[in-house]
Every structure is written in C-alpha cells, then in structure tokens.
Amino acid sequence: MNHDGTIAVDASNGTFSVPVCRLNRAFRWSACCFAFPLFRVQSVLTLLLSVIVACLGCDAETHFEPNAALRATHRLTAEQEAFIDGVLTELFGTPSEPQLPEEITSLDLAALTQAAGPVISYEPGVTQGLFRRHCARCHGVTGDGKGPASYYQHPYPRDFRQGVFKWKSTYHEVPPTNSDLLSVIERGIPGTAMPSFQLLTPKERDMLRQYVIYLAMRGQLERELIWLVAEEFGPGETLPEDEALSIARELLQPIVKAWVEAPSAIVLPNEAALPPASTESIQLGYELYHSERSGCAKCHGEEGQGGGAPGDDYDDWNREQLREQLVVEEALGWHRLPITKAPARAITGTRLRGGDAPIDLFRRLHQGIAGTPMPAIGARRPGEESALTDEEVAALTDYVGSIMDVNAHHESNEKNAVKEPQISANEHY
C-alpha cells in the first residue's frame, strides 16, 4: 500500500492504482467498488481484475470499531488501546475472518464464517455475509448498535456489546437463551424498527443468532479489558502478549459460562402460579397495580398512560453514553447517537415488544427488563425473597394483560418449556 492510501497493482505489464476504501461500514463497501477512478488499463480483463481487487481491498479495511467512548472515559493510552485490540483480534479474528477462542465451544465457526464477511454467493440459495446483509445497517458491523440507519430509529438498535438483552425468558442478570434470540429474529420486535426475519431459512436465522452471541461476547470481553487496564494497571502499563492472552482468557470464562448456562435460569412459573385469568384474578391484579406493594402506577400511571416518574431517567446504554459524553465529547465523534430518555412506557395503546403471550408478560413483570429502569417484582434468583409472590405476579399479569389486550391466557404451556434451536450446533453449514 502506498502512503497516499492507494493500492498499487501490477497487472499484466501495466500499473494502476485504486483508492483504498476507508469506510468500515458494510453497506458502503459495495458502492466503493464503482467509485474508484480509472487509470491506465490495458484490457477489459484487467479492468475486471481491478474491480475485484478494489472490492477485496475495501473489505480488507472493514474492522471492528473500538468501544471508543468507554476507552476514552477510562483514559487509556494509545499503547493500551493497541494492547486490547491485539488481544481481541487474536481471540476473535476480524469481521471477515472470525475466530473462536477455545473457551467458546457453544458456537460453530462454520456458522460464524457464513454469517461474517462481505455479502456474496457462490451457489444458488447460499448466501455468505448474512450479518452484513440483514443486520449491520442498524446494528453495525461491530454489533455496537451504531449502524448507518441507527441515527433515525427510536428506540435505537440494540448494542450487543454489554451482553444485555431485553426480551428474554431468563432471570434479570442472565443472558438470553438461544431460543430467546431466535424468537426475536423470527418475530421481530413490534413497535420498533426490528423486522421479522421469518423469510430466512431456520439455518440462516441460527447462524445470525450465533453471530450475535459472538459479537456480544467479544464486546463484553473488550469492556472487561478496558476496566482491567483502567483499574489494575499502572499509568501506561501494558503486558507481554502471552500474559495478556492468558488474562483475557480468564476474563472470558465467566462471560462464556453465563451464556452457556442461561437455559438453566429460565423463569418457570408452575401451573398453579399461572391459572387462567378470571374476574377475581384481574381484580386482585388491579389492586396490586395501584398499591404501594408493586408501585406500578407510580411510573406507568393510574390508567396505564405512562410517564409517571419524575425527572429524567435513561436505560443503561444511554446512561453510559451520557456519562461518557460529559467526560469526553470529542472521543465519540460521529459515533455518538443523540441521548434518548427512558420514561415509563404507556401500557395502553401500545404493543408488547417482547412477545404477547401471558408467559412473556409474566416474565417482564417478574424480572423487570434488563438494561432499563423497569425493576423486578419477583425474586432476584430462584428461592429468594420477592416483593410479590408468583401467584400475585400472575394476577398482575392478568390485569395488565386485560388492559394491554394480551392473548387469551395460557395458550402457552409449551412456551414454559425450555426450547432450544432445532439445529444442532455441530451441523455442517
């Protein structure tokens, strides 16, 4: 590569140059293939070759965005940032060539490889680069929720890098299960820009599910490394590569463990706790909703109209951005999305985002919504104390469901069961 950012290619007996695409956004790479100026080309064949080289060159420039805001807030030096980048690349590869550290056995590298990289097809019906084709415009190549279309959305696309997801069946602090993620990919999220991907094949959806987890784990490890450097290293300190990798692998283990063990932490009310809705249960739910025992009406309003809590509140993603914006505005640059507040939602006249079965609503009330101000009214962990009993949460579900027009209660016994994807992780893609 030349100093002026061009690639010199010795083609046949002539030389030409193409500008290296410096854009790191997947949606732009294909456009840049047509944007380079023509220089002396000796034949149509050479021209075609140059297009291919330019396209490959563009993709070679696609990289994972650093978590610039968190790094700047913690005042990492350039050397420390390079240290973190090196560790992440060593363990997770690049957006076009993913790798899996040996700690992660729950994901399939073949699936990730097909989900990663530029969009291309070598045979009918088989698409490479599924994530960039279907997801990166909103979620970004890095999964940071800052894809080019994100600016115009409310709520913003999920930033996977905290490993926190809202619509799930598990306890508050536990990652979603595979079937939770598949369910969101298949169903979409009503009331948001997240569409249904039901037209993709189950295999393709599962590849995307795996790639989302891959990006989440990578992002979580990056955060851990940033905190490690900020809190345990001396000023400007870095580590030799082998020691750095060893520490990173240690930090990765609990992240992987939490994802793998998520199916063992699903909120499972027993049948007795979730009987069919009745006039009595709805009345009890009404009383609980308006009582100080639940506090629902304080935020969601006496009539479910929302906006009851005073002052400004934010979800975890915006709050972190807010804090970082105050500290290091310049570090965010164009990556910064305008901060949005998280007032308590109106629960009448709106659609349930995380599934409209009673069990979904029960879980929202029982565990709150991870990453948001919505608190858990059930136990933090199985067997621990709670604000309301499961039976009372069920009654509250009946009342809230009655004003939210939730599907008739209890069609969802099967949703109580632990569902895992039908595709074997070892199946060859």
Partner 1 sequence: MFQIGLSLLLLSMATPTRAAGWGGLRGQIMVQGEVPERVTFDLGRDTCCLAAKPTDRSVLVGENGGLAGVIVYLKAKRGVEVPIDTLPPTDPVEISNTGCAFAPRITLLRAGQPLVLVNEDPTTHNVKATTRRNGTFNLVLPPGDRRPLRLARAERSPVTIACNVHPFMRGYLLVRDDPYAVVTGPDGRFELPHLPAGVWRFEFWHEKGELAGVKLAGGETDGRGRAELTIRADETLDLGELRVPADRFK
CB of 91 to partner 1, least distance (A): 20
Residues 36-40: contacts with CB under 8 Å, at least 24 apart: 40/14, 40/15, 40/16
CB of 218 to partner 1, least distance (A): 18
Token readout for 25 is 């956004």
- Other CB atoms within a 10 A radius of the CB of residue 15 amount to 11
Nearer to partner 1, 347 or 374 (CB): 374
Angle subtended at Cα 344 by Cα 339 and Cα 346, rounded to the nearest 5 degrees: 120
Residues that bind partner 1 (CB under 8 A): 75, 172-173, 227-228, 230-235, 292-295, 298-299, 308-313, 316, 368, 370, 373-377, 380, 385, 387-388
Token readout for 101 is 């550290």
Which amino acid, 304?
Answer: G
Q: What is the dihedral of CA 383, 385, 390, 394, to 10 degrees?
A: -140
CB of 254 to partner 1, least distance (A): 9
**Helix extents (H) in 201-342:** 202-232, 241-260, 279-289, 296-300, 316-327, 329-332
Nearer to partner 1, 47 or 387 (CB): 387
Nearer to partner 1, 127 or 321 (CB): 321
Cα–Cα distance, 136 to 140 (Å, whole number): 4
Which amino acid, 12?
Answer: S
Nearer to partner 1, 19 or 308 (CB): 308
Residue with tokens 């939730």: 406
Nearer to partner 1, 274 or 388 (CB): 388
Cα–Cα nearest to 106, from 323, 301, 255, 275: 255
Nearer to partner 1, 146 or 172 (CB): 172
CB of 261 to partner 1, least distance (A): 13
CB of 328 to partner 1, least distance (A): 12
Nearer to partner 1, 134 or 364 (CB): 364
CB of 116 to partner 1, least distance (A): 29
As beta bridge partners, residue 266 has 170
CB of 323 to partner 1, least distance (A): 10
